[in-house]
């Protein structure tokens, strides 16, 4: 039994576990103290001063104030209200007044704060900061003039990702969030994961949009515009239309995509199955030879860039398999083009991804065949929602549609790629059966599921051989494991890494959940639950059992890791030299 | 061997205020020297204010140092003929002893400046060689440490500190003994002792002086503190802009280590303590404890919310005591002479002495150490020698950018932590800026806000944005564009920044504005309503005009005006175009007939 | 590694060095080498002292740095302590003035009065500003 602390909030007696903050304690008695810089589990710098409460003669930030016995806290005095109001007015006085043009309008924490605190007049106006937009990165755009310096992006980049591509620069009014030496994010250690976007309370960070390019392509009669959607998109897109977190909207999404004017709607699950075939075979080869172990997954572009920049010596351990949507793009522009008798140059492949890292990945020159990019545009889940809104489609009431052949069918193994542990589980489902030569009884490897940062598993094959697997999400965790491997303190055969905590379901391109909601529900758990429900409902749950996969190997690729497969489905990596904030 | 050089110093008071003096004294003196063929042998100097206004014009003849007062044209001739040529001082022109006491004083310690000082923290400054540990030992250095380590338990040390009543000299005034006690109570094997040498108030240099002049006293006190709280590692956080202090500290640490006064088994007692130096990059905010800790940890110098206080969770999360340099320098004498001795100095709630850095419009700028409870008037007028050029005292700013201005009516207030706070100011680290009648208080507030807004770390919004908004309103007022609403806004804004800011920097940043608003409201109103700067400082509100009666039409002003704002025919009165005028004041400076007036 | 007894021994041994009274036995010249002094040019004075007195055979002089007494506007300050005489503080010193002090005071036994403090009615006359020479 944990030690309890009893104290008073607004005349009510509150009893909470020792170590609880006043902010959390207040919540337990129905008082939602307004916050801005605070984000549960990510950041509590107490810099914004919105969550001030009266503690004795002083006003203190409740987000960092730990409850102590007999404290007398007042959250609702004139002094508190007027201080909070002034603080938000200050922030507004230095915030770009472009609410009607901002992608975060309606989902902006500053906007709701201003409304909630009844700010209807600006008492203090003056100079605003003027800083040029940083839109050089293929993934992210930073608008300092909207930034409220809450520090959440800095915290997530440093603590969750151990990347520290950004930090606070300059002092006082001139303070900005930026990369070392004032360079663009594109020239920093940024691995393009976009977790900073997910924590930004305002519109200071967003993806670099490609909506207009895609509209142009759709409007071009010359082009065959093909769209594919990643597994994680279907369990989050509904949130943009007011549906509960964790709602599965696969069929509605397909219908909407068709209404937007895409010529073909494919499922990236197919590419995921292909990845399992290629990567799984690679794993078997390495397990047999015992060389270049552990094999590390390569489907997360943020993780790949992290290895290239921070652990270049471990590049040989990365699987050479392209990521699923890149594989699918390459197949669309070869196999599919031939089958449909279309010039691959006229095919435009658009990937709907839960990710902004994919925008960076899309333009890597390694991911092209004969000067033609495998994928032409990457849109985030948010961008797709915006396009649907642009057309006035009533998404919630849409009928369920079906993906198109021949890449419309994926296995349950492909779907679970969207959650941390999914790739490992999918790979093990296939690799076990190939190596063991027998069908699995239970195919659900629960040991690699869930939200623990580092999950370890040993799978014993019938011949007694063991596959030692580690599943990691969040790059700070990955850094720990990589340091162990470098020092030879840990040995694994197979490692799955997803840069974003929770995996793709919580990727940098997903719907942004405001801090208020995040403090109440675990968004990642709800979305992951939906992903695993998709898996269960799939008729086929192992990649190598997918008949469309079998067909493409029969008709086109020959066998996994064949020469053709290597040409189209595999890639290589480059060590990167970068500066770092740390 | 050179004979002693003769020098004639003439102070005619013209640069001060009155025009009672005859500027020609210098000219006449020069002429007389030439006539008597002395021009090559005697150096003639026209001096600025000597603060002997009531005796001016004054002529001093060196090397004898004889002061002639109320010198007239005919006296000049006599001084040259009788004194300089014949060698006999002109007795009849020398003021009687009871009116003007003039003397040569060989040792600096005997001048009035030191008479009312009590030196505890500065006891060794300027007396010993700071680079020689033996000299420190010879003035009973490390004796207090020896006493503490061999005859006292840590609890007794803390009790003694509490009994002494010593309070932090860096700003907050928290009782040092209690601070030590909090840290001592923490059940942790690793604790830290930090010396805060991040002196940042404009014009304050007491810590620098101690570190440069008596570094061992700080090391000794830190070791005593380490013993009291159970720490074995200390850090001195000192500004990199203090290279001499850093060098002396480094040397002192090496010497102490060689003697075994730092390190394992200090003085054979088994107690281990060592000290390292950490350099600050010159951020004012790093004087704040938690920002300082972040800086030592290699992070950006930004404060954290308190609680937790450093004594509970400080450097690398360990219990940490942070004491200011001057606080530490005061500690060894407490253990040598006893807490009772220390607490007998000062007042009920403020014990001991405090060092002040006197600056601004004061005759004796410099460092002084006085018992707590000394009045502001004693410090400014008795020790500080009063206001130069016979000007009137207007206000004294204490506590640096965090403090406020105190007016004439409160000059007899004894200096204590609490009395200064009551007056809307604070002790701060001990900066004392004296202002005379020519100071514009709105401009003073603007100056300090300009400083704090630059030094705000940018973490919390009230300080980051609020100080800029405050400054913007002040600038508007000094430009003559302010309204009465702005005065209310200043007050509201200031109060909000005080209550909402994260650390002491923001919480005190509005003090200079609020205290000047309090005491000099009329001056603000003059700027806002009459569009007038009473002190004639705010350029936008100053207008230059040529007095047609006095103007001889020489054209010098027009020739020197950088923007050609002055027109007029030669030999007739000139005119300044106020729209073109940039208020540089050149015309007034160059006019030989005092015809340019400001209003 | 010293003991508590050693502290007393060192203190005893060094007592004469820091003695500011006429009872001291060796001449000491202490120049303010805190920041104020250095900024006013005291390094040149120190250099001169070392050149003149290090290993000198005619007269034994302790050449030392000293810290700040708080009157930086009169810097460089130089204390001259001659056995049998009261301490003399010279203000606003430079190399040339110091040369004279060496000759007249250290060697000649005559205090150079014009470099000491001149006080009239509690006002220091040494730190006047020069308007014209």
Q: How far apart (Å, rounded) are the C-alpha atoms in residues A64 and A37?
A: 11
Q: What is the per-residue pLDDT across A261-287, written as a single tens digit (0 to 9) for each? A: 999 999 999 999 999 999 999 999 999
Q: Are strands B353-360 and B366-371 parallel, antiparallel or unpaired?
A: antiparallel
Residues B557 and B519 in one domain: no
Classify domain A212-569 by CATH number.
Answer: 3.40.50.1780
Residues from chain B that touch A168, judged by Cβ atoms under 8 A, are: 300, 302, 458-459
Chain B: nearest CA to C75, how far in angstroms? 11
CB B379 within 8 A of CB B431: no
Q: Are strands A466-473 and A372-373 parallel, antiparallel or unpaired?
A: unpaired
Flag whether the ipTM exceeds 0.90. Answer: yes
Counting one residue from chain A and one from chain B, the pairs whose CB atoms sit within 8 A come to 106
Facing residue for C73 by CB, picked from B7, B128, B365:
B365
Chains B and C touch (3+ CB pairs under 8 A): yes
Q: How far apart (Å, rounded) are the C-alpha atoms in residues B375 and B433?
A: 15
Confidence of residue B11 (pLDDT cuts 50, 70, 90): confident
CB A323 within 8 A of CB A361: yes
Contact B458 A170 (CB under 8 A): yes
A65/B contact by beta carbon, under 8 A: yes
Residues B73 and B10 in one domain: yes
- Residue B424 has a pLDDT of 86
Establish if B127 belongs to a structural domain: no
- Residue A582 has a pLDDT of 34
Residues B334 and B431 in one domain: no
Residue C88 belongs to a domain with what CATH number?
A: 3.40.30.10
Nearest chain C residue to B105, by CA: C117
Facing residue for A94 by CB, picked from B283, B463, B465:
B465
CB A349 within 8 A of CB A361: no
Q: Is A506 helix (H, G, I), strand (E, B) or coil?
A: helix
Residues B488 and B502 in one domain: yes
Residues from chain B that touch A170, judged by Cβ atoms under 8 A, are: 458
A580/B contact by beta carbon, under 8 A: no
In CATH terms, A129-207 corresponds, of 3.30.70.1280, 3.20.20.450, 3.30.70.20, 3.30.379.10, to 3.30.70.20
Residues B182 and B215 in one domain: yes
Establish if C56 belongs to a structural domain: yes
Residues B186 and B311 in one domain: yes
pLDDT at A581 over 60: no
Give the range of the structural domain holding residue B481, as residue numbers without chain letter.
Answer: 441-528
Residues B311 and B370 in one domain: no
The residue to which tokens 């250690």 are assigned: A189
Q: How far apart (Å, rounded) are the C-alpha atoms in residues B478 and B531?
A: 9
Confidence of residue B509 (pLDDT cuts 50, 70, 90): very high
Nearest chain C residue to B123, by CA: C69
For residue A210, give the nearest of A382, A46, A84 by alpha carbon.
A382
Facing residue for B138 by CB, picked from C14, C71, C132:
C14
Nearest chain B residue to A52, by CA: B500
- Residue B96 has a pLDDT of 77
Establish if C49 belongs to a structural domain: yes
Establish if B184 belongs to a structural domain: yes
Q: How far apart (Å, rounded) are the C-alpha atoms in residues B77 and B73?
A: 7
Contact C34 B134 (CB under 8 A): no
Q: What is the per-residue pLDDT across C13-64, written as a single tens digit (0 to 9) for each? A: 999 999 999 999 999 999 999 999 999 999 999 999 999 999 999 999 999 9
Integer angstrom CA distances of residue B442 from B74, B503, B513, B530, B582: 47, 25, 8, 14, 20
Chain C: nearest CA to B102, how far in angstroms? 4
Residues from chain C that touch B52, judged by Cβ atoms under 8 A, are: 120-121, 123
State whether CATH 3.40.190.10 applies to domain A4-92.
no
Confidence of residue B1 (pLDDT cuts 50, 70, 90): very low
CA A544 to chain centre: 27
Peptide bond connecting A406 to the previous residue in cis, omega within 30 degrees of 0: yes
Confidence of residue A447 (pLDDT cuts 50, 70, 90): confident
- Residue B71 has a pLDDT of 85
Chain A: nearest CA to B455, how far in angstroms? 6
Residues from chain C that touch B111, judged by Cβ atoms under 8 A, are: 117, 119, 124
B290/A contact by beta carbon, under 8 A: no
Q: What is the per-residue pLDDT across B321-367, written as a single tens digit (0 to 9) for each? A: 999 999 999 999 999 999 999 999 999 999 999 999 999 999 888 99
Catalytic residues of A: 279, 282, 299, 319, 358, 361, 366, 504
B462/A contact by beta carbon, under 8 A: yes
Nearest chain C residue to B356, by CA: C70
**Tokens representing A74?**
């007042």
Residues B415 and B445 in one domain: no
Residues from chain B that touch A174, judged by Cβ atoms under 8 A, are: 458
Q: Is the Cα torsion angle A534, A540, A541, A543 positive or negative in sign? A: negative
CB A481 within 8 A of CB A317: no
Query: Which run of H or of E encompasses B309?
Result: none
Facing residue for B458 by CB, picked from A86, A124, A168:
A168
Chains that touch A (3 or more CB pairs under 8 A): B
Average pLDDT over residues A476-498: 95
Query: How many domains does chain C divide into?
Result: 1
Residues B10 and B60 in one domain: yes
Q: How far apart (Å, rounded) are the C-alpha atoms in residues B214 and B209?
A: 8
Give the range of the structural domain holding residue C65, as residue numbers without chain letter.
Answer: 20-124
Establish if C53 belongs to a structural domain: yes
Residue ranges of E strands in A321-465: 347-353, 368-369, 372-373, 377-380, 454-460
pLDDT at B20 over 70: no
Contact B469 A168 (CB under 8 A): no
Nearest chain C residue to B63, by CA: C114
Chain B: nearest CA to C59, how far in angstroms? 19
Residues B156 and B75 in one domain: no
| A577 or B127, which is more confident | B127
Chains C and A touch (3+ CB pairs under 8 A): no
């Amino acid at each position: 039994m944990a030690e309890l602390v009893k104290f008073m909030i607004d005349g009510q007696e509150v009893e909470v576990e020792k170590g609880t903050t006043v902010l959390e304690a207040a919540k337990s008695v129905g008082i939602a103290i307004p916050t801005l810089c605070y984000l549960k589990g990510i950041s509590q710098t107490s810099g914004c001063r919105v969550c001030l409460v009266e503690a004795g003669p002083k006003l203190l930030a409740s987000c960092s104030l730990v409850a102590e016995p007999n404290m007398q806290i007042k959250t609702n005095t004139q002094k508190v209200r007027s201080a909070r109001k002034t603080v938000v007015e200050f922030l507004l006085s230095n915030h770009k007044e472009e609410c009607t043009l901002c992608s975060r309008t309606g989902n902006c924490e500053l906007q709701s704060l201003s409304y909630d605190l009844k700010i209807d007049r600006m008492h203090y106006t003056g100079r605003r900061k003027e800083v040029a937009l940083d839109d050089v990165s293929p993934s992210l755009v930073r608008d300092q003039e909207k930034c409220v310096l809450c520090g959440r992006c800095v915290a997530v980049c440093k603590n969750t990702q151990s990347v520290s591509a950004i930090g606070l620069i300059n002092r006082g009014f001139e303070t900005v969030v930026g990369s070392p030496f004032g360079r663009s994010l594109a020239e920093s250690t940024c691995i393009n994961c976009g977790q900073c976007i997910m924590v930004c309370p305002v519109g200071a960070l967003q993806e670099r949009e490609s909506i207009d390019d895609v509209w142009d392509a759709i409007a071009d009669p010359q082009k065959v515009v093909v769209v594919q959607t990643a597994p994680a998109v279907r369990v989050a897109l509904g949130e943009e239309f007011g549906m509960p977190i964790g709602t599965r909207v696969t069929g509605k999404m397909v219908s909407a995509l068709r209404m937007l004017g895409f010529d073909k709607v494919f499922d990236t699950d197919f590419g995921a199955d292909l990845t399992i075939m290629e990567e799984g075979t690679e794993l078997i080869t390495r397990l047999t030879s015992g060389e270049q172990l552990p094999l590390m997954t390569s489907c997360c572009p943020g993780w790949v860039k992290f290895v290239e920049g921070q652990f270049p010596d471990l590049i040989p351990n990365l699987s050479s398999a392209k990521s699923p949507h890149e594989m699918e793009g390459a197949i669309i522009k070869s196999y599919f083009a031939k089958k449909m008798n279309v010039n691959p140059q006229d095919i435009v492949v658009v990937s709907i991804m839960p990710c902004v890292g994919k925008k960076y990945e899309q333009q890597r020159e390694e991911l092209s065949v004969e000067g033609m990019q495998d994928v032409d545009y990457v849109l985030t889940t948010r961008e797709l929602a915006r396009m649907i809104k642009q057309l006035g489609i009533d998404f919630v009431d849409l009928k369920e549609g079906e993906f198109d052949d021949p890449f419309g069918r994926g296995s349950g193994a492909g779907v679970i790629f969207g959650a941390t542990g999914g790739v490992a589980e999918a790979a093990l489902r296939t690799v076990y059966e190939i190596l063991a030569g027998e069908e699995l009884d239970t195919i659900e490897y629960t040991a690699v599921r869930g939200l623990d940062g580092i999950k370890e598993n040993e799978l014993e094959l019938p011949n007694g051989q063991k596959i030692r697997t580690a599943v990691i999400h969040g790059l700070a965790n990955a850094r720990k494991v990589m340091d162990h491997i470098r020092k030879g303190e840990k040995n694994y055969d197979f490692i799955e890494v997803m840069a974003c905590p929770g995996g793709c379901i919580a990727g940098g391109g997903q719907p942004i959940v405001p801090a208020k909601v995040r403090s109440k529900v675990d968004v990642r758990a709800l979305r992951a639950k939906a992903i695993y429900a998709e898996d269960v409902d799939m008729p086929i749950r192992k990649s190598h059992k997918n008949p469309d996969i079998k067909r493409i190997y029969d008709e086109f690729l020959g066998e996994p890791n064949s020469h053709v497969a290597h040409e189209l489905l595999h890639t290589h990596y480059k060590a990167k030299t970068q500066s770092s904030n740390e | 061997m050179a004979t002693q050089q003769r020098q004639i110093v003439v102070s005619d008071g013209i640069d001060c205020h009155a025009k009672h003096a005859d500027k020609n004294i210098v000219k006449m003196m020069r002429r007389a020297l030439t006539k008597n063929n002395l021009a090559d042998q005697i150096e003639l100097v026209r001096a600025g204010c000597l603060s002997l206004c009531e005796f001016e014009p004054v002529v001093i003849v060196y090397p004898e140092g004889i002061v002639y007062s109320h010198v007239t044209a005919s006296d000049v001739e006599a001084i040259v003929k009788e004194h300089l040529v014949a060698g006999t001082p002109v007795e009849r022109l020398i003021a009687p002893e009871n009116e003007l006491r003039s003397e040569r004083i060989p040792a600096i310690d005997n001048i009035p400046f030191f008479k009312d000082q009590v030196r505890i923290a500065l006891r060794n400054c300027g007396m010993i060689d700071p680079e020689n540990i033996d000299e420190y030992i010879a003035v009973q250095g490390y004796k207090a440490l020896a006493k503490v380590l061999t005859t006292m338990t840590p609890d007794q040390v803390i009790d003694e500190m509490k009994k002494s009543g010593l309070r932090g000299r860096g700003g907050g005034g928290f009782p040092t003994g209690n601070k030590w006690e909090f840290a001592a109570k923490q059940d942790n094997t690793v604790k830290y002792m930090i010396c805060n040498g991040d002196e940042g108030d404009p014009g304050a240099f007491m810590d620098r002086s101690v570190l440069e002049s008596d570094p061992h006293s700080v090391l000794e006190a830190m070791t005593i503190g380490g013993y009291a709280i159970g720490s074995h590692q200390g850090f001195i956080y000192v500004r990199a802009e203090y290279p001499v202090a850093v060098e002396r500290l480094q040397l002192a640490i090496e010497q102490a280590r060689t003697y075994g006064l730092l390190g394992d088994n200090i003085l054979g007692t088994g107690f281990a303590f060592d000290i390292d130096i950490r350099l600050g990059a010159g951020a004012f905010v790093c004087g704040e404890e938690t920002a300082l800790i972040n800086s030592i940890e290699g992070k950006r110098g930004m404060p954290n919310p308190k609680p937790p206080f450093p004594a509970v969770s400080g450097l690398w999360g360990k219990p940490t005591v942070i004491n200011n340099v001057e606080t530490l320098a005061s500690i060894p004498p407490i253990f040598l002479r006893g807490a009772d001795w220390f607490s007998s100095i000062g007042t009920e709630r403020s014990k001991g002495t405090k060092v002040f850095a006197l600056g601004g419009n004061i005759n004796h700028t410099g460092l002084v150490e006085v018992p707590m409870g000394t009045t502001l008037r004693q410090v400014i007028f008795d020790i500080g020698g009063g206001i130069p050029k016979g000007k009137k005292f207007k206000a004294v700013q204490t506590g640096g950018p965090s403090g406020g201005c105190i007016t004439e009516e409160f000059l007899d207030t004894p200096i204590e932590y609490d009395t200064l706070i009551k007056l809307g100011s604070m002790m701060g680290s001990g900066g004392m800026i004296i202002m005379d009648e020519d100071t514009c208080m709105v401009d003073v507030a603007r100056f300090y806000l300009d400083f704090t807004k630059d030094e705000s770390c940018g973490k919390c919004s009230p300080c980051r944005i609020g100080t800029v908004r405050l400054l913007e309103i002040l600038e508007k007022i000094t430009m003559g564009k302010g309204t009465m609403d702005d005065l209310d806004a200043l007050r509201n804004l200031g109060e909000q920044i005080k209550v909402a800011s994260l650390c002491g920097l923001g919480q005190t940043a509005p003090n200079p504005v609020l205290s000047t608003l309090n005491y000099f409201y009329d001056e603000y109103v003059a700027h806002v309503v009459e569009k007038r700067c009473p002190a004639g400082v705010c350029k936008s509100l100053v207008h230059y005009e040529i007095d047609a009666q006095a103007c001889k039409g020489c054209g010098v002003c027009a020739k020197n005006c950088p923007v050609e704002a002055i027109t007029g025919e030669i030999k007739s009165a000139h005119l300044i175009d106020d729209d073109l005028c940039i208020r540089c004041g050149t015309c007034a400076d160059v006019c030989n007939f005092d015809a340019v007036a400001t209003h | 590694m010293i003991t508590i007894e050693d502290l007393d021994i060192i203190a005893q041994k060094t007592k004469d060095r820091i003695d500011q009274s006429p009872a001291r036995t060796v001449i000491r010249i202490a120049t303010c080498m805190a920041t104020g002094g250095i900024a006013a040019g005291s390094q040149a004075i120190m250099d001169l002292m070392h050149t003149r007195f290090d290993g000198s055979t005619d007269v034994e002089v302790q050449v030392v740095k000293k810290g700040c007494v708080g009157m930086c506007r009169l810097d460089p300050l130089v204390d001259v302590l001659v056995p049998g005489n009261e301490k003399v503080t010279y203000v606003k010193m430079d190399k040339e003035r110091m040369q004279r002090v060496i000759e007249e005071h250290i060697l000649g036994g005559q205090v150079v009065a014009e470099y000491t403090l001149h006080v009239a009615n509690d006002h220091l006359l040494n730190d006047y500003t020069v308007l014209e020479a």
